[in-house]
Structures are given as C-alpha cells and as structure tokens.
Structure 1
Amino acid sequence: MAAQAMMRKAAPCAMRQLKCITVDVTGTLIAYKGLLGDYYCKAAKAVGVPCPDYDQMHEGFKVAYTEMASKYPCFGQATKMSNRDWWRTCVRNSFREAGYDYSNEIFDHVFKRIYSMFGSTAPYMIYSDAQPFLRWARKQGIVVGVVSNAEYRYRDIILPTLGLNQGSEWDFGLFSGIVGIEKPDPRIFEIALKKAGGVAPEHALHIGDSLVKDYLPARELGMHAMLLDRFKSKEARVAREAGVPVFPDLSDAQNFIISWQEQVKRASMI
C-alpha cells in the first residue's frame, strides 16, 4: 500500500521537450552473465578449496553486500575505505555467510581472482539495444548521463570495454563510489541535472529498472521517469497497474520517446 501511494504521488508530469536523459546501468544497459554466486564458487574451486552450493553462495553475498552498503555506503567512499578493501571484506563475509571461512592465505588467492574478474568484462554482457539507444539520443541533441550505484571500475574499465564510451554513448557519468551519493537519494539526480548544463527537471527523463531506486526518486525531483522490465518482474507489473510507464526494452522506450516528442512539437505549433 505504501509503494502504491508513493506511485500515485509520483504520477507522470506534463510532457516537455527532452534535453537530458539519464540511465541506470545494471539491468538497464548491461547485465551479469549467470548468477554472481557462480563466479565466487569458480574462484574457490580454481585454487583447490571446497565451495558452497551456488545458490547458497548467492544468498550469502546478498546478506554481506547489504550489510557493507549499510555500514560503509558508496563502497566506503565516505569513510575513505579503499575500493579493494571494501570488496575484500564483502567477499570474505559472503563466504562466511555461506558457511565457509578459509585461511588468510587461501582467501587471498580466492579474492584476487574474484576482484580481478569483476574488474573486467568477463561477468557482464551488454544488451543489444543499449548502444543504439544511447547513440540515437545523443544524435537528437539530448544530453545523456549514466547514473549508477557502482564503483569507479564501471566508469574506467567495464563500460568502455563493453563499448559504452563517454563521448560517443554518454556525456557524463555519476557513480556512487565516486560522488559519494547513491540512489534512491534524489541528490544524485540533482547533480545529474547540473552536469547536463542546468537542465530543469521537467525537461529530463530517467530510465532504470528499479521502482524504488530509479523511478520514485527521479519523479520526486520532478523529472520524467520510466521503468524497464526485461525480466517480467512482479514489481514492474504492480507499477504498470498503478500507471507507471513500463517498457520491455530500450527499443520500445525509444519509440515512446519519439512519439512523445512529436506530440510536444505539434502542441507547440498550435
């Protein structure tokens, strides 16, 4: 009921000419290949030690990650914890939650493999509609920003290696591990609007896959917003029933935006 009330409060605003589009990353532009637990278990097996069940490992990671994000938000940015140390603690706690506690020497070998792997493109895939959509938007003269609860390696390594580059696919990026603010804090969208050149909220659109982290905070600020539902989630179904614009992919979102902007142009000529 609370979520539905928030969605009613954040109903779509009147259409305006778009000057800026911001996009989420994971689940919107890119995705993991398989389950995260698979990679942790593979790293353990590669150094010759037993590993928990893959699903058990995945659940252990979710508990450990949630605790670390609460104690040391934005990958330790506020407390000056290094990115590597943040992940080292998170990974160690993930294994412990799953029932395995390796010696320091063995864990060092396991962690090096995991940290290196997730600093590369090996665990990720780019959605086929991501690059065409971003390039299309920029070609229309729309400023494109990436807004993600991610650390610096997304900006410096992962996105560029996947073919999503600043200057060709996006104009600016806001990553929580760098700016020290993470969604659903609306302040990260305020920064995005400033980065876009002082664009007013009603001339900006945010696209993401989370109702709580993407749609609601963007709407709270007065931006347009829409959800992507690539996996037919229950959250997206409920949101759609409440009137939230939900699309299966960026291609459909693009078609909607084209129609939207044509309507705005026609209205301005009347």
Structure 2
Amino acid sequence: MSKVNVVNVSVMDKEADFTSPFKLEITFDCIEYISQDLEWKLIYVGSAEAPDYDQVLDSVLVGPIEPGKHMFIFEANAPNPDIIPQDDIIGVTVLLLTCSFGKHEFVRIGYYVNNEYADQNYVENPPPVVDIYKLKRSIMVEAPRVTRFKINWDQTSQNDENVYDEDQIMEDNIEPHQETESFIIKEDSSEDEDEAESEEEDDESEHSVIDLENEESISEYEENINELKQKNSSPIEEPSSKKIKIKDSIPENIKYDNLPD
C-alpha cells in the first residue's frame, strides 16, 4: 500500500508561449509520517525516437511529511530548444511529472503537449529554422495518464536504483475536473485492456504527425512513449534537486469538489 497518493494536479496556464515556464499545483495525501524526502521531477520528452533528448526541467525535494493532505506549487522553466531535434520541436510530445521515494519512482503522470505556430503565415510558410518565440504551447489536461509503481516503503534505500517490473505497474484512467483543469485518480479494473495495449508494438509511430482526432494514432504514439520510459534511461541535463516547503497540512474537515473524501 502506498504511503503517498497524488489526489489532484492542476496545470496552470495550459495554453502559453513555448518559452513560458510550467506551473503545477500538486495536492497529495500522506497516510503516515515520512522522515525522508520525496523527489518530484518534471520531464519534457524531446523526441519519441530516443530518450537521450529528454530534459529534466526541474527537480524538488519535499519532506519530512506529516500525515494528512498537503499542497505545493511546482514551477519549472521551459525546455531548452537547442537540445530538441528541429523536426520534433513542432507537434505533439509528452510532459511527465514523477515522484520518487528513496530513488524509487512510485507515480508518473503524463500529459500530451502540442506546440504549433499561432500565426497562420508561419503555418503556411514555416521558416527553415523553428522560431520558438512564435510558438504556442497547449497542454492537453483533458487526457492525462497516471502510472503507479509498487515500492517497499519500509525498506527503500537511497542507494538503490529504481527497477521496473511490468507485473507491478498499474495504470489508471483519470477524469479531469472541469473547473480547475485537474484530474482525479480513481481505481479501474481494466487490466485486460492495459495488457492488450502493452502487447502491441509499432516502431513506425511518428512524433510530429500524431492525429489527435484518431484514437489509433494516439494509441500508437502512447505505446512508443511507454516503451521509452521502460528503458529507465537517465534524462540529460538533470538539475540538482532543491528543497522546498509544502503548505501546512490541509484540515481533514475541509471539503473539496476535486478531491476524494
């Protein structure tokens, strides 16, 4: 049983300039006291072709943590475009929010991100080199994806590396909250569907030509991203984690429309 459950993430400024920073409001529930830090990372997938282009936009440490609901704001700079292949700057990619305990990742939340020119003239006559200052970024908060990993909370060591076991990965479908553009994690019994998805492989999935209106196209792209994250390669340009403070524990008697009771 997980000692920490992410119950809500609100993505602020879901539509912004490509160069604008990311800002997320994260709410999580801790069922018992945790003396060690939780490490949160925001990762930008630079290309579906190779994990070497992944960028850790920022990394923060939160802890120690008292039992109860807690909330904090996670801010991170935009990705470095010089590291992203030119052909992959425009189009759809993925933004990942992860949390680890003792270097063991136990939750991963992914959002599709679409980058495109807002000016129709640039769309019809794109410059040979992408002008990032003309790009608009749209985070698709309506379709987040949560993956949870089972870890041993009592014996997790800071020196151990995270090891993925396909039998221990649980993926949930999530529903967005219409007012806050957030999501609620819920239990789902569609294990057969997840297993069927994991068995399908399509190496021809293209990062920049995903059809957002076509479910098969989205599924192919998602499989490609899932395959990359299972390789457990360390993203480049990873900043050192900084320690931040969370807000005081949220009183249990306060009711929230977008949090489970």
TM-score range, shorter chain: under 0.3
TM, length-normalised to structure 1: 0.22
More strand by share: 2
More helix by share: 1
Structure possessing the higher radius of gyration over alpha carbons:
1
